[in-house]
Structure 1
Amino acid sequence: MIFILLCVYCSVLETTSAEKHTLQYLYTLRSALENEPEFEITTVFDGLIISHCKSSSFRDQSRYDWISQTFTDAEWKNRDLFCESEYYFHKTLKKKIEGVYNTTNGIIQRERSCTEDDSVVLMSDSWGVNGENFLTLDPKTLKWSSDSPLATPVQSDWNQMKFMTPSLKDFKMNQCKPSLMKLKMKKEEYLKGNLRPKIYIFGKPSHDGDTVSLRCYVSHKYLSGVRVRLTLDGVVVDNVNISSPAPNMDGSVQIRLETKTNIKEPDFYHCVVDADNLHTFTAWGKRFHFKQSFLL
């Protein structure tokens, strides 16, 4: 039986000279029965959800101690203020988008990020409406391009706004980049002395080639208290079979997770392992440049 080994992007909270680091800000605006929309920002660092804020409280909070210790109390306060200011800013932009759709119902999403690659920090920014691509930012010109015919008037309007370009530059230089650098340094410090488990993802295609059976194997000498799960775009996958711990020949223990996915979809899966002092994952998806080997 042949399996395709998709060991694609193995990222433990460790740093090498060639490793890229990405900090993402995922925005969601939902229409509510009241006049005020529901708003939230989820912040993701190297595949790990590090904090989350909602318009109900404007508190940016993290459930990981090492993330909480990355920023000072004053910096966390600034993150709270950033969340609140982004709410009012995006509330205004939301009205412009709803105008072209002629509706106040729907979900508006935005993904903006900065990525460090060879000491150069690159920015990306895109919008979606009701699950469809809407606008994408050109990081060089800082101009928007439409991904939908309905987005054309919004593209023209936003590209003429005088405050838009300074706002985009400010986000990169004063919000995203400094936070990314602090998280990178804390990540290096945090991982000293932590041993990582071995994680592999195997993909077994179906006979018709439409689906893949994803199998994640986690192996380590100490799996007591370790949390293992599969996530899809940062959300825990429910329909996963998880085996009981089984011994290996070298004295270590393994756990296996399995689920099915449509190979034609650009899914973004992570096999995630968490312990009290460790976060590690292996990722699989079409967006990766991954190595392939074959096992008999």
Structure 2
Amino acid sequence: MYFFVLLILIIGHLHTVSAVTHSLKYFYTGVSGDINFPEFTTVGLVDNVTFIYFDSNTKTAVPKTEWIKRVGPGYWVSQTKTCINLHQFFKNNIQVAKDRFNQSMSTGVHVFQWMYGCDWDDETGVIQGFDQYGYDGENFISLDLKTLSWIAPKPQAFITKNKWDSDKADNEYLKHYFTLECIEWLKKYLQYEETSQMRTVPPSVSLLQKTPSSPVTCHATGFYPSEVNILWQKDGPFQHEDVETGHTLPNGDGTFQKSVLLTVKPEEWKNNKYQCVVQVSGINKDFIKDLTESEIQTNRDTSIGHIITVVVAGLLAIGAAVIGVVNRKKKSKKASDDGSNSSNKSASNV
């Protein structure tokens, strides 16, 4: 995530977000050179929480929150196709930037980035838009939304500035996007999020053990929301010694999983009543699994393989993403929930 940090540092001075301000932001990063990082990644955030992600290795746009799935199934097909096209678009812009900076023969790592979005103060109604491009960790060109003109801090960006300043129609489109369309999508996403927060999904609870002498793991998965307590009981009271609590991890379907490990000798739990108790926020019911030989699953069970797959999928899903359109000249159409359009604005060659 090094390059995202660079971009955030670059644009951090442009705007601040107060306690009542909501935001919709998109980060795009193209990379060239020998580096262990995807050539192209896109990340979308609502209130600084990632809701969609794409990279050129997986070639698939994926949801990072449960509520974004409400936009409709066609959304993901559309977003994936757009991101694949944007990958080539960013490769072209990196080459243009390298030519401008006399780096055509350079074999080192170069980074081209794009960040844009909008802020909305739900108390005052004040809105802001921001649109900025960076190259190799420095600001390349940015939009002054008040004057509808482009600011080029480096002479290598003057060609781009002159080209974009002269396109009055496109700059009017940007004004429309940042003051109306982006804000409308932000409000829509906030409504989806609010509705989703009222949703609850009960967990599936399993007791896992590698060998008869290994610690016993209580694994809960498939629950929503993410707030969960997993506790071990011994003959009634909760036991806190010899208990190791893992992190709550996301599953690929928007739900969550968590494990709590209990170190206990076989003769100890066989001669006492041990129970795993799972409590999920918003669900007024405890999910209890008795520690008995019949309830324990081992690595030889096919169900364990499924659980491991879910865990790996959850780990791989951590990250974050979103999409734009390749041709900036394309006129904005009315956004819809079927995936035929999105909250992204269009892109342009530098």
Normalised by the size of structure 2, how large is the TM-score?
0.43
Shift of 1:226: 8.6
| Match of residue 61 from structure 2 | 60
Shift of 1:91: 4.0
Quick one: distance in 2 between partners of 1:168 and 1:91?
23
Gaps of 5+ in 2: 1-18, 201-226, 231-244, 250-350
Considering only aligned residues, what root-mean-square deviation do their CA atoms show, in Å? 3.5
Shift of 1:159: 2.5
Quick one: distance in 1 between partners of 2:55 and 2:199?
35
CA pair 134-163 structure 1, distance change in 2 beyond 3 A: same
| Match of residue 74 from structure 1 | 74
Pairing of 1:18-167 with structure 2 (within 5 A): 19-32=20-33, 38-68=39-69, 70-104=70-104, 105-117=109-121, 118-161=124-167, 164-165=170-171
Q: Percent identity?
A: 25
**1:183 lines up with 2:183 in the alignment:** no
- Give deviations 1:25-61, integer Å, cap 9, x for gaps: 101011146xxx9222111111111111123454221
- Give deviations 1:73-114, integer Å, cap 9, x for gaps: 122333223323433444444333222112255111111112
Quick one: distance in 2 between partners of 1:61 and 1:227?
22
Structure having the larger proportion of residues in helix = 2
| Match of residue 206 from structure 1 | none
Pairing of 1:130-279 with structure 2 (within 5 A): 130-161=136-167, 164-165=170-171, 168=174, 172=178, 176-192=182-198, 224=230, 227=247
Shift of 1:121: 4.2
Quick one: distance in 1 between partners of 2:117 and 2:175?
12
CA pair 74-177 structure 1, distance change in 2 beyond 3 A: farther
Structure 2 letter corresponding to 1:106: H
Provide the aligned length of Structure 1 versus Structure 2: 182
CA pair 144-223 structure 1, distance change in 2 beyond 3 A: farther
Instruction: Tell which has more relative contact order, 1 or 2 (C-alpha 8 A, sep 6+).
Output: 1
CA pair 170-102 structure 1, distance change in 2 beyond 3 A: farther
Quick one: distance in 1 between partners of 2:97 and 2:135?
8
Quick one: distance in 2 between partners of 1:85 and 1:65?
26
CA pair 164-93 structure 1, distance change in 2 beyond 3 A: farther
Pairing of 1:275-286 with structure 2 (within 5 A): none
Q: Does the CA contact (< 8 Å) of 1:142 and 1:165 recur in 2?
A: yes
Gaps of 5+ in 1: 1-17, 195-220, 230-296
Shift of 1:184: 0.6
Quick one: distance in 1 between partners of 2:142 and 2:183?
20
SS at match of 2:147: coil
Quick one: distance in 2 between partners of 1:171 and 1:85?
21
